[in-house]
């Protein structure tokens, strides 16, 4: 009869016929099921309640470069960060080939505004270059992974190029080299949302001690290194602080 439960089940261990309403074989002790099935009565007849199958989880349509369970953006190459980092390395080598006065900002620029854009990539000291390019590579990549390349370029540009512009406005005879403003801007734009999240009680695995050390090195070299402008550093800090507050209210892409 349809719907009638089986009168017995066969133990796979000893081959004995046992009741379908027990969990262990009484002959060999083999575990038959985790729990006995629930007995329901329908029209006076006992009926074993059929187990309900859980619905299979489904995923929405995947984007290009995305695999199930992993966001494509998390593994995408940070092209903007790669370009900014590479230009910082190349700029250090450029000063071995050309005069720094011809490509950097050294006093009045006489309408050659393109120098504002080239100066943040130029370094005379390898230590200053390492201190400024490292945070660009690290925090630029972290920001680009969450917010995209436009955010990275915009934050770096306002911090680095804007810092050079304000440094020359403060002193027309100033000599400026390096992108310390862009480096500190990216660092603060990344760390401020994390600090605000921790204040709300959220947990994360961010290494803020290492971030504090990197920030301290950038600040120190901006004060003592030749060509690293403190005005550019303060400008980048202001840009990074504002960007961090805005990004803390923005959902990652």
pLDDT of residue 103: 66
Instruction: Give the domains, in start order, of the chain with CATH numbers.
Output: 1-49 (no CATH), 77-247 (1.20.1540.10)
pLDDT digits (tens, 9 = 90+) for 9-30: 787 777 777 777 777 777 776 7
* Closest C-alpha to 232, from 175, 169, 180: 180
The pTM score is 0.67
Give the count of alpha carbons within 13 A of 190, CB side only: 26
Q: What is the pLDDT of residue 196?
A: 92
CB 240 within 8 A of CB 185: yes
84-97: burial string, b at 16+ Cβ within 10 Å, e else:
bbebbeebbebbee
User: 11-15, 70-74, 131-135 — which is least confidently predicted?
Assistant: 70-74
pLDDT tens for 94-126 read: 777 776 666 667 666 777 888 888 888 888 888
């Amino acid at each position: 009869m349809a719907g009638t439960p089986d009168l017995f089940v066969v133990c796979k261990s000893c081959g004995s016929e046992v009741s379908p309403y027990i969990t262990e074989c009484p002959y060999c002790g083999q575990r038959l099921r985790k729990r006995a099935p629930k007995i329901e009565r329908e029209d006076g007849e006992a009926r074993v309640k059929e187990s309900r199958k859980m619905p299979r989880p489904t995923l929405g349509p995947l984007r290009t470069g995305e695999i199930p369970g992993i966001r494509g953006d998390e593994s995408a190459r940070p092209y903007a960060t790669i370009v900014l980092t590479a230009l910082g390395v190349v700029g250090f080598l450029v000063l071995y080939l050309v005069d720094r006065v011809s490509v950097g900002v050294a006093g009045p620029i006489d309408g050659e505004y393109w120098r504002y854009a080239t100066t943040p990539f130029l370094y005379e000291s390898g230590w200053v270059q390492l201190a400024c390019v490292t945070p660009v590579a690290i925090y630029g990549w972290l920001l680009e992974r969450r917010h995209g390349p436009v955010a990275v370029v915009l934050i770096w540009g306002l911090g680095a190029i804007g810092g050079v512009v304000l440094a020359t406005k403060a002193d027309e005879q100033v000599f400026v080299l390096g992108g310390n403003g862009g480096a500190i801007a990216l660092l603060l734009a990344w760390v401020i949302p994390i600090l605000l999240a921790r204040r709300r009680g959220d947990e994360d695995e961010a290494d803020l001690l290492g971030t504090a050390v990197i920030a301290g090195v950038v600040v120190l070299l901006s004060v003592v290194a030749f060509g690293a402008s403190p005005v550019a550093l303060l400008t980048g800090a202001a840009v990074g602080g504002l960007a961090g507050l805005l990004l803390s209210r923005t959902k990652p892409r």
